[in-house]
Amino acid sequence: MTSNVVKTRLQRSNTSGLRNEAGRPTAAVNQLSRAKKLAESLLSERGEASGAAVARELHEVLRILVAEDRSNFRRFLATDFAPDATIVRAAAQTYLSDPSAEAAALLAQATDPPRQELLRRMNMAPGGTSALVAMRKEIAGRLRDEPTLRLLDSDLKHLFASWFNRGFLELRRIDWQSPAAVLEKLIAYEAVHEIHGWDDLRRRLAPDRRCFAFFHPALPDDPLIFVEVALVEGLAGAVQPLLVQDSDEDAARNRAAQADTAIFYSISNCQDGLRGISFGNFLIKQVVEELKNELQHLTRFSTLSPVPGFRRWLTKRLASTSDPAAALLAQIETGAGRLNPPKIDDSLKPLIMRFCAAYLTRHASTEEPTDPVARFHLGNGARLERINWLGNTAPRGIQESFGIMVNYLYDLETIESNHEAFVNDGTVMRSADVDALLPPSISRRRIQGSQKAKRQQERLQSNLTNSNVPSSQLKLSQ
């Protein structure tokens, strides 16, 4: 039966007006029932061609299910395709009596849920990957109320980690000549600094700007993640000047030629269904290499990043202590709890900056979770280079962090040692400028951490000297 015939039959049945005892249209019940039967049939198929045909038919049925029936189908996937307990028990007993590699492999096979194989086969249909990514996006909003869906979510994430690994990703530069469908996705997906229409987008793709994205063959015109870069002189400390409209392309080319620094000012994940699948660490390092090859006069690569958890952390901290700073900070609460930059007392700047430095340099292994943006860049080997007062005066920046923004410097000579220091014991590598904002006791810990990181870097260099691996390859291989 062709897909068109299936679709026509289902559309006709949907208009029959018949209802079952529960008051639901009979056609809707039949569609859900058919989807379940197709899923069971797909799992029993042995031939690749016939399996692909059933997968295609299943996706066509799922596309016309109403929201309630899609939810029912997801619950069906989560609950009806678990490993066979009898087989798992027998495999476990075999392994316990004979813990051989063969027995371990049989146990792993026994515990592999049939649901994963079903999802793999659903992926054989044209557009199957996109449909499964969309399914996981829908699941995300229901995990709290329906914990049984966590099994399905976990299996999808497990499969996506393989299907979207770095080897399958393609890095592309996006410019004003890129397909309109891709450019529209940038406007829609920008998550850090909203793009206000086509003129704003054109400015962000000007000669003194760069934009790179990862794509996957199964989603050829849909970016997975993209980064926006500004080519500037010196370390940019505020984002608003980077977003100013400027249509003079000749001036932009001159700025690009004179630039010595690449500022990564926005990184946006585009697919909610791929949450938890990391792309950003690979993206930044590869873009650094691309920029070095294209613009050899660039000497510095840094982010201009938000501090999304700072204000929430500071409010909570001051509420639980008798710190006199609480009364001072209350002066800047206006309206809906927003900061009014022109009315800030200059005496508050060092106070807020000191708190922000303390927040970002907390020992990650022993204290509260590190700020998510800081955790990403520090874990990626960057150094906390500078904390910028009123770096983002947009309402969101004020609300999240009193307008503070941060530069994380990607120094290719120290990426590996910085990464090791942070991952192994939570040490936050930072510059002397950041250190100057901290109390002496914390500064001493920074010096000790720097010395430890230096020893780690020396060991890496020693290992490198005794190997045949090029230094640039080793530094960017993590």
Per-residue pLDDT, 326: 66
| Span 363-418, pLDDT tens digits | 755 556 678 999 999 999 999 999 999 999 998 998 899 899 999 999 988 999 99
Q: Model confidence over 171-205: pLDDT tens digits?
A: 999 999 999 999 999 999 999 999 999 999 999 99
- For residue 403, what pLDDT is reported? 92
The count of C-alpha atoms lying within 13 angstroms of the C-alpha of 69, restricted to the half-sphere facing its C-beta, is 19
User: Other CB atoms closer than 10 Å to residue 325's CB: what's the count?
Assistant: 16
pTM of the model: 0.83
- pLDDT at residue 343, rounded to an integer: 54
| 245 — pLDDT class (breaks 50, 70, 90) | confident
- Residue appearing with tokens 């990181």: 453
Question: Which is more confident, 436 or 21?
Answer: 436
What pLDDT shows up at residue 477? 31
Question: Any residues with CB less than 8 A from the CB of 467 and at least 6 apart, and which?
Answer: none
Q: What is the pLDDT of residue 341?
A: 58
Which pLDDT tens digit goes with each residue over 443-460?
A: 545 544 555 555 555 554
Tens of pLDDT along 429-447? Answer: 999 999 999 987 655 455 4
Q: pLDDT value at position 454? A: 54
Per cent of the chain over pLDDT 70 is: 79
pLDDT, residue 447, reads: 47
DSSP string, 273-303: GGTT---HHHHHHHHHHHHHHH-TT--EEEE
Among candidate residues 128, 138, 119, the one with its CA nearest the CA of residue 219: 128
The question of whether 377 is a catalytic residue gets the answer: yes
Active site residue 33: no
> Given this model, what pLDDT does residue 467 score?
44
Q: Which of 377, 401, 419, 450 is catalytic?
A: 377
- Cα separation, 313 vs 309, whole angstroms: 6
Q: How confident is the model at residue 1 (pLDDT cuts 50, 70, 90)?
A: very low
pLDDT at residue 29 in the model? 67
Question: Is the model more confident about 347 or about 145?
Answer: 145
125-128-131-133 Cα dihedral, nearest 10 degrees: 170
Contact 340, 429 (CB under 8 A): no
Residue 46's pLDDT band (cuts 50, 70, 90): confident
Structure tokens at 71: 């939810």
Average pLDDT of the segment spanning 340-360: 79
Average pLDDT of the segment spanning 128-148: 95
Q: Which of 256-270, 367-381, 462-476 shows the lowest mean pLDDT across its residues?
A: 462-476
Domains and CATH numbers, the chain: 3-163 (1.20.140.90), 167-303 (3.40.630.180), 310-475 (3.40.630.150)
Higher-confidence position of 458 and 309: 309
Tell me the C-alpha to C-alpha distance, in Å, between residue 239 and each of 91, 193, 389, 402. 58, 9, 11, 14
Catalytic residue among 266, 268, 305, 417: 305
The pLDDT value recorded for residue 331 is: 60
Q: Which residues contact 426 (CB under 8 A, 6 or more apart)?
A: 363, 364, 365, 366
pLDDT at 16: 39
Tokens linked to 231: 């080519």
| Residue of 317 and 330 predicted with greater confidence | 317
For residues 22-27, give the mean pLDDT.
54
